Each structure stands twice: as structure tokens, then as C-alpha cells.
Amino acid sequence: MSRWRRKSKDAESGLGGVDAEPEFTDVKIVKRETASTDSDSGEASAPDETDDVVIAELSAAFGDDDTEPIAAPDAGLTTISIGGGDDGLPDAVYLDEELGDRDESEPVFIDDDGTGDALLAKDATGPGIEPRLRQRRIGVRRAEGRRRLRRWGIAAAVFVVVVSVLAVLGSSLFSVDDVDVTGVQRADADAVLEVVDDLIGEPVLLVDTGAAEDRLEQIPYVDTARVRTDFPNGATIEIREREPVATTAGADGRFRILDREGRVVDVIDGQPIAFVLVSGPTTLDLEAGQYADTGYAAAAAMVTKLTPDVRSRMISMSVVPDGTDLRFLLSNEPGPDIEVRLGAAITDNDQIERLVRLQRVLDDVVGSDTTVIDVSTAETTER
């Protein structure tokens, strides 16, 4: 059974979230009366044909020009006429009460504007769409399209403004023309200047500070580098250098300078006397910027932990590549030199423990005939 109920305009448009009391406006159910029976004579009286003529004339006068009115339904059928809303468009909905007790097989005609172009209920709810309802849907879609177009227009305008601003800021008006460099002492000045020259003339907003820092930290003596831009036309470079602590000879006869991490910070021709000499069963044949193996790195780290007393007597160190056998050679005038055996002193804790054991006995053996001190275990031995 078809049922029509009027909804609020918000509910029609899908915007309302609260149920509204059904409102029935301009609704009338017109039932064409069948021939009645005279109570006195029992004979059927003929329907009034004048009403049919008047209805047909009004339909022709006020109906849509492009819509051919549908002939009035036959006698015995019901026509439901539903008035339009404020917008002049049909607003037909199910009516429960008026049609609730009708026979489902009996046809019902729907006339939404009184023009006589009535539709069967099955036609009104079928796959076809009433022309004015189609126009309403088209209007809604066009309005949504205009709103979407407006949003895209605003987004495009913002994008254009941003691009324009970035283009101005990325122009030569805001390029780097002054670079302040601090912290360079032993590092290769020419290598640093190459990075500086690449920064000059670069737009401030386009400077890749991370790439510049990576390039600077590839310089052997550079430990860390920080590059910053100063709007509108400046840049600063702050460098922290590595501290050289030890040296070792290579197969080519040149000496490698090591920092505490075992990195080769420089390669020179003569032996430097300012750094502890580290030797071993193999030579260290590396280029500047490369890292030595575990043994040489452990020996270089040990240098930074030496007490002033031990450091002043240090002649040299020896180590195997894997760091399992680290030794000192200390001066002991007027007696013979002393060999200190530290064993596998690789970690910071191991190195500090062995240096403490050495310092405890060193004062007692200085000037004596002791030639070997073994601090590789918890029990220190001398001979």
C-alpha cells in the first residue's frame, strides 16, 4: 500500500537531523462519486456532467504549456491533489491515514498542482522522475558544483600567492653574500672555503644546510659542523675540530695522525713528537678521513686517559689489530725502561681500571731494576 507523508524542508534536503512533526498542507482527497441510488425509487441517478466540463476547461487554462494533461480518471477512482511548497515545486509525500484503509488493488491518482496531469501512485514512485523534481535535483547539483568550484578557486588563489612569495624570497634579492666561519685551526682551510664559495650567491631560503654540514664533516679534522642562514643575506658556519693524540707509521714511511676515535685526521712525512707513537705487528696504511681498526683506536683512546705521571714517562705504545694485547714502554732512569702489560684494554672501564693499578705501583718501582709490570688482571705483578 502506498503511503505519503510530508517532511520538513531540512529533511528533504538531507540536512535535518531532528524528526519534525508531519505537516499536511494544501492536501485534499477528491473522490469521484459513483452513480448513487435514489433511496425512494431505487434507480441510479446519473453523475453531473457539468462538473467534468468545468474541470476540463480549468485544466486547459492553467495547466503547463509543455505538459499534455492526462484525461481525468474514470468514475470510481480516487485522485489525490497535493499543493506545492513555498518554492512552487511539488512536495508530495506519503499519506498514511487517507489511504490506510483502501483496497490495494484500487488505483490512486496524484495531482500535485491541480492542473489535471495526475499520475498513478506506482508511476510517481517508479524509476522515472517527475520533471519538476528532476529540475530541483539538477538545481541542487549545480549549487554544489558552484560551491566546489568556489573552493577550488580559493585554493588556487592561495597557491598562486604562496608561489609568488616564495619566488620573490628565492630570488637574488635575498641571496647569501656574507659567510662567517668560526672554529677552524687544523682543518684544511681550502676545503672549508670550497663550501663557503658554494654558499655565496645561493638564495637564503634555498640553502641546503644539511648538505653543507655533511660536506664539512667529511674534512678529516672536522668533528662536527653547524651551518645556519641569517635572513636576508647572511650565513654562519661553526666547526668543532678533532683532537690529535697519537701517531703511527704506514708502509709508505709516512705517519698517520689519529684522534681518540682512531680516525686518521692527517698524513704527514716526518714523525711528530707531540703525539704518542703507536706501533704494532702491521702498519696502518690509511688515508686521511678513514678509521683505524679496534686495536689502534683503543690505543688512541688510552692516550686521553693517561695521568700526567704516566704521560711524562711514555715512550711508545704497541698493540695488535684486534686490541687484545696493549702495552706501554715507560722510561725509568736511571734504571732500564719498564714494559707495562695491559692485556685486552678496549673499553673505557677496562682502561681506567688498568691505569689505576699501574699508578698504585709506579712510584715504588721508579728507579728500581723492575722491567715488567703486568696489570692485565686484578692481581698486579712486577719483575
Residue 288 has a pLDDT of 96
Q: Which band of pLDDT confidence, cut at 50, 70 and 90, is reported for residue 129?
A: low
Q: Please compute the mean of the pLDDT values over residues 30-57 and round it to a whole number.
A: 51
272-300 confidence digits (pLDDT tens):
999 999 999 989 999 999 999 999 999 99
Cell output for 210: 644539511
Q: Please compute the mean of the pLDDT values over residues 156-164 and round it to a whole number.
A: 82
Cβ-proximal residues to 372 (8 Å cutoff; 6+ apart), any chain: 338, 339, 341, 381, 382, 383
Residue 325 has a pLDDT of 95
Residue 19 has a pLDDT of 44
Q: Can you give the pTM of this predicted structure?
A: 0.57
Q: How much of the chain exceeds pLDDT 70, in percent? A: 63
Q: Which residues pair with 81 in a beta bridge?
A: 28, 111
Q: Which residues of 186-222 are buried (b: 16+ CB within 10 A; e: fewer)?
A: ebeeebbeebbebbeebbbeebeeeebbebbeebbbb
Residue 20 has a pLDDT of 44
Q: Residue 8: is its pLDDT beyond 70?
A: no
Residue 105 sits at the vertex; the CA angle it makes with 103 and 106, to the nearest 5 degrees, is 70
Which of the pair, 126 or 133, is modelled with greater confidence?
A: 133
| Alpha carbons 94 and 96: distance in angstroms, whole number | 6
344-377 confidence digits (pLDDT tens):
999 999 999 999 999 999 988 888 899 999 999 9
Q: Please compute the mean of the pLDDT values over residues 100-121 and round it to a whole number.
A: 53
Q: How many CB atoms are closer than 10 A to CB 228?
A: 14
Q: Please compute the mean of the pLDDT values over residues 90-103 and round it to a whole number.
A: 49
Residue 82 has a pLDDT of 52
Instruction: Name the class of domain 174-241.
Output: alpha beta
Q: Residue 84: is its pLDDT beyond 90?
A: no
**Cβ pair 339, 381 in contact under 8 A:** no
| Cα Rg, the chain, nearest whole Å | 51
Q: Which residues of 137-174 are buried (b: 16+ CB within 10 A; e: fewer)?
A: eeeeeeeeeeeeeeeeeeeeeeeeeeeeeeeeeeeeeb
Query: How far is the CA of 117 from the CAs of 34, 95, 157, in angstroms?
Result: 21, 19, 50
Worst-scoring range by mean pLDDT, 167-176, 193-202, 332-341?
167-176
Eight-state DSSP code of residue 205: G
Domain residue extents for the chain: 9-33+42-128, 174-241, 244-382
**Average model confidence (pLDDT) for the chain?**
77
Q: Which band of pLDDT confidence, cut at 50, 70 and 90, is reported for residue 44?
A: very low
Cell output for 247: 701517531
Residue 205 has a pLDDT of 83
**Cβ pair 67, 117 in contact under 8 A:** yes
250, burial (CB in 10 Å: exposed 0-12, middle 13-18, buried 19+)? middle
Residue 232 has a pLDDT of 87
Which of the pair, 295 or 96, is modelled with greater confidence?
A: 295
| Alpha carbons 39 and 253: distance in angstroms, whole number | 141
Residue 38 has a pLDDT of 45
How many residues make up the chain in this entry? 383
